[in-house]
Amino acid sequence: MKQALPILAVLAVLLAAIAVANPFFLEPAGFLAFLKRAAPLVILAAGQYFVIVSGEFDLSVGSLVTAEVVIAARLIDGDESATWPVLALLLVIGLFVGLVNGVVTTKLRVPSFIVTLGMLLVLSGAVFLWTGGAPRGALSESFRTFGRGGIGPLPWSVLILLAVGAAVIVLMRADFGKTLIATGDNERAAALSGVRVDRARIVAFMLSGLAAAVAAILLGGFAGVSAQAGQGLEFSAITAVVLGGVVLGGGRGSVPAAMAGAFTLEALFTLLNLYGISGALEFTVQGVIIIAAVAAGAIRLPRKFTPRRGDAHAAS
Binding site for other proteins (CB under 8 A): 55-57, 59, 104, 108-111, 113-115, 117-122, 124-126, 128-129, 133, 235, 238-239, 242, 247-249, 278-288, 290-291, 294-295, 298-299, 303
Burial 3-21 (b: 16+ CB within 10 A, else e): bbebbbebbeebbebbeee
Question: Minimal distance in Å, beta carbon 241 to other proteins?
Answer: 10
Cα-only R_g, the chain: 19
Question: Minimal distance in Å, beta carbon 5 to other proteins?
Answer: 20
151 bridge partner residues? 154
Q: Any residues with CB less than 8 A from the CB of 251 and at least 6 apart, and which? A: 53, 55, 181, 182, 184, 185, 186, 307, 310, 314
Residue closer to other proteins by CB (options 2, 304) is 304
Residue closer to other proteins by CB (options 85, 111) is 111
Q: What are phi and psi of 195, to 5 degrees?
A: -75, 135
Residue closer to other proteins by CB (options 35, 248) is 248
Q: Under DSSP, is residue 148 helix (H, G, I), strand (E, B) or coil?
A: helix
Residue closer to other proteins by CB (options 28, 279) is 279
Residue closer to other proteins by CB (options 154, 290) is 290
Question: Minimal distance in Å, beta carbon 177 to other proteins?
Answer: 21
Measured between alpha carbons, how far is 80 from 100 in angstroms, rounded to an integer? 31
C-alpha 154, offset from chain centre: 22
C-alpha torsion sign, points 95, 117, 222, 52? positive
Question: Minimal distance in Å, beta carbon 248 to other proteins?
Answer: 5
User: Do 50 and 167 meet the contact criterion of CB atoms below 8 Å apart?
Assistant: no
Residue closer to other proteins by CB (options 147, 209) is 209
Total H helices, total E strands in the chain: 14, 2
Residue closer to other proteins by CB (options 113, 275) is 113
Q: Spell out where the chain has E strands.
A: 150-151, 154-155
Question: Minimal distance in Å, beta carbon 19 to other proteins?
Answer: 26
Question: Minimal distance in Å, beta carbon 266 to other proteins?
Answer: 16
Residue closer to other proteins by CB (options 58, 146) is 58
Question: Minimal distance in Å, beta carbon 289 to other proteins?
Answer: 8
User: Do 110 and 59 meet the contact criterion of CB atoms below 8 Å apart?
Assistant: no
Question: Minimal distance in Å, beta carbon 39 to other proteins?
Answer: 23
User: Do 47 and 65 meet the contact criterion of CB atoms below 8 Å apart?
Assistant: no
Neighbours of 37 (CB within 10 A): 16
